[in-house]
Every structure is written in structure tokens, then in C-alpha cells.
Amino acid sequence: MAIWAFRKNYDPRIRPRETYLIYEIKWSYGRRPWQRWFCSTSREHVEMYFLNDVHEKLKNNPSAHCTITCYMSWSPCGYCCEDIMDFLWEWPNVNLVIYVARLYWHQNKFNRQGLRNLESFGVPIKVMNLPDYNYCWRTLVNNENSSEEDYWPMYLAPWIMQYSLELQTILQVSRTVGSGKVHPEMNHSHMQKPVSELDISLASFGLSFVL
């Protein structure tokens, strides 16, 4: 991914129309990690390009165990959460972790429930923290022409904290009722009962600062 695309689309202060997704596959048997990125189009959400690409990658070795880490500029919508759960139900040997730079229409009840269902299904969802930005910069972004070896955008810290608070509030519901993989069809139609008190201490976010 180009530097300008990463800086622009993963800056939570900006609200771009497109969604970018960078992903990395790490295999359990020492194979070289696979890295790629996609951008949404007017025809398809970026999650569909990602899932189709991973499917093509896995079908030649369906028994392989792997961990996939996604770095998304926007969190998945409710429909894409369902598609991700369907994919993981088909591929139980895949562990998925999702990091997001910002939350997509997170006041929408369907999108909020989609995130809850996805975490209840066993997919950790986190807001990108400063070390995550630096990891992407050093590992997944084409920064050869940049004078910056590291990327610690301290000015994003207030936005990281804000989205972390909101995501904590959304996901707290599913954490109080337990977790574990449930077939996606069982998650699609059930709303969780909200909790009355939320633990939104700063320590729960693991927000890291470098002085």
C-alpha cells in the first residue's frame, strides 16, 4: 500500500468514502506470511474482496491452520459481519483478528449488533493503537521512499481513545453474556440484553503512548 493511501485512509480524523483493508496471514507450519490489501468499490464492500482472496489462498491447502490479522480503515457493517461469520464457519481452521481505525455508522443498531455477534463468534475486534500503526508502517506499507523508519502518530491518540470507548461500550454486551462460536444463523436474529454498568477504564483499552 502506498504511503499516501495509508496516511489518509487510516487517519480517524478523516471520513473517507472508501474502505481499505490490509491483511496478513501467518501459517502454523512456518510458511512465509502472506500480505495483501484491498479497497472497496461502488460495486462491492472491501470485505468481499478479502474473503474471496483468502478462499482462493486456502482452497489449495484446506487443512492448514493459520491466523489472519486485518487492519481496516472502517469497521465492518452488519451484513459484512454476517459474511465473515459464514466464512469462518466454513473454515474452522482459521483464526481471525480485526483492527479498525474508526467505526462505521456505529449508531446504527444493526451494525452494532453485527460487531457483537462477530466477537461472540470468537473474532477479537480492536481499535488500532499507536503500535499497530507503526507495525503497519514498518511491515505492510511501501515506505521505501520515506525518511521515517517508524510511524507513531501521537496526534491521533484522542481519536483512538474516543473510538476505543465507543467500541468497548458496544462489545461489553456480548462479553457479559459469554463467548464462543455459535452458528451464524443463530446470531443473525437475536439481540443481546444491554448491561447497566460498563467498565470503560483507560486500562481496558491498552492505549500506549511513547514519550
Catalytic residue among 47, 144, 148, 149: 47
Is residue 166 annotated as a catalytic residue, yes or no? no
Q: How distant, in Å, are the alpha carbons of 12, 27, 66, 73, 148 from that of 33?
A: 27, 7, 10, 21, 24
* Average pLDDT of the residues in 198-210: 42
Q: Tell me the whole-structure pTM to 2 decimals.
A: 0.81
Partnered with residue 27 across adjacent β-strands are 66
Structure confidence by residue, pLDDT tens digits, 72-84: 999 999 999 999 9
pLDDT of residue 34 exceeding 80, the answer is: yes
* Average pLDDT of the residues in 27-50: 90
Q: What is the pLDDT of residue 193?
A: 35
Task: Please indicate whether residue 111 or residue 175 has the higher confidence score (pLDDT).
Answer: 111
